[in-house]
Amino acid sequence: MECIGNYGTTKTKDFYKINLKVINIMILFKQIELLQRIHQLIELSSTGSPEQFAKYLGISESRLYRIIEEMKDLGAPVDYSRQYGTYYYTEPFEMNISCTFRRLTEREQKNISGGIPFLLNFFFTAFFVQ
- In tens, the pLDDT along 79-90 reads 999 999 999 999
Domain 7-103, CATH class in plain words: mainly alpha
Contact by Cβ (8 Å): 89, 76? yes
Tell me the average pLDDT across 89-108: 85
Say if residues 53 and 41 touch (Cβ distance below 8 Å): yes
91 vs 21 pLDDT, higher one: 91
Amino acid at 32: I
- Structural domain boundaries of the chain? 7-103
- The region of weakest confidence among 46-50, 55-59, 89-93, 119-123 is 119-123
Residue 75 banded pLDDT, cuts 50, 70, 90: very high
